[in-house]
Amino acid sequence: MNTSTELDLVANASAARQGIGAFNVVLLEHAEAIVAGAERAGRPVILQISQNTASYHGSFEPIMAASLAIAGAASVPAIVHLDHAEDLQLVYAAVEFGVQSVMFDGSTLDYEENVATTRKVVEFCHDHGVFVEAELGEVGGKDGVHAPGARSRPDEVAAFVAATGVDALAVAVGTSHAMTSRVATVDRELIGELAACAGVPLVLHGSSGLSDEELIGAVRAGMTKINISTHLNGLFTAAARQALNADAALVDPRKYITPARNAVAGEVARLLRLLAP
C-alpha cells in the first residue's frame, strides 16, 4: 500500500531543487494514465481532482474513490489532491473521505477574508494530517493574477504564509490556466525572490502553457509543484480523434480511449523525468 504523504513528496522535491508533477484527473482513464506514466518513469506523482470535475461527475465520491484506489495500488508514491476547492463543505467532506491533500482557493476573496478562511482550512486539515496548498490573489487564468503582467509580491507572499500556516503556495509568475499552446514564459528572477521569502514550496499553476525549457527554468529558479492539465487533455483528445477518424464504424469506446490513455501515460512519464532529472 502507498503510504507516502504529499508533505513528504513536496518537501523532498523542494530540498532536491526538483519539480514534482501534479496532473488533473477528469475521467477514470486519466487516473490510470497518470499512475502508469509515473510507474514507467519511476517517479512520484500527484493526481488532482478539481471542484469543477467533482461537479461534472455529480459528486466527488466516484472519481475520488477510483483515484484513491489507483494511487494506493501504485508501485511509486502517488497522492490524490483536491484542487481549486472554493466550497468549505467540499474540503471537509473530501478530507473525511480520505483525500491526502487540499488546495483551498480563496483567491477571489479580499485579503483578510482569504487569510481567515485559509487559516480555518489549514487548522482542520492539519488536524487530519492533510497537506494544504493555497493561492494568494487570483491565479485563475484567463484573467486575474495569471493575466499577462500580473505577478505575486514577495512581501505579500511572506505575510500570507506566516498568517495562514499553509504548506505550499500557488503564485503568479507569468503562466495562465487553460493555454493550448506552449508559448508562455515565467519570471525566473521573481520565482527566486518568492522562493527565498515564502518559507514553503511554491506551486506553478497553468504550466500547460510552458515549453520544456521554461518548465526546467521554473524548477531551477525555485518552483516545486508543477500543475499540468490542459496539455494532457489536448493529447488525450487528439489520440481519440485520430482513432475515430481512422475508422468511421468504430463504436467501442475502449478502441479509441485506449490510445488516448496511452498518449497521456507516455507524456506523464516524459514530463516527470524532465522535472526531476
CATH of the domain at 237: 3.20.20.70
Residue 270 within any structural domain of the chain: yes
Residue 227 within any structural domain of the chain: yes
- The residue annotated as part of the active site, out of 83, 155, 167, 212, is 83
Residue 136 within any structural domain of the chain: yes
Q: Where are the alpha helices (DSSP H) in the chain?
A: 6-15, 28-41, 51-56, 61-72, 88-97, 111-127, 154-164, 188-198, 212-221, 230-246, 253-275
Residue 35 within any structural domain of the chain: yes
At 4-40, the pLDDT tens digits run 678 888 988 998 999 999 999 999 999 999 999 999 9
Residue 154 within any structural domain of the chain: yes
Query: How many structural domains is the chain composed of?
Result: 1
Q: Which residue has the higher pLDDT, 176 or 121?
A: 121
83 belongs to the catalytic site: yes
Q: What mean pLDDT, rounded, does the chain reach?
A: 89
At 190-235, the pLDDT tens digits run 889 999 999 999 999 877 778 888 888 889 999 999 999 989 999 9
What is the residue range of 124's domain?
6-275
CA distance 34 to 209: 19
pLDDT attached to residue 146:
47
DSSP 8-state symbol, 252: -
Q: Which residue has the higher pLDDT, 139 or 253?
A: 253
Whole-model pTM: value is 0.92
Residue 1 within any structural domain of the chain: no
DSSP 8-state symbol, 141: B
Residue 201 within any structural domain of the chain: yes
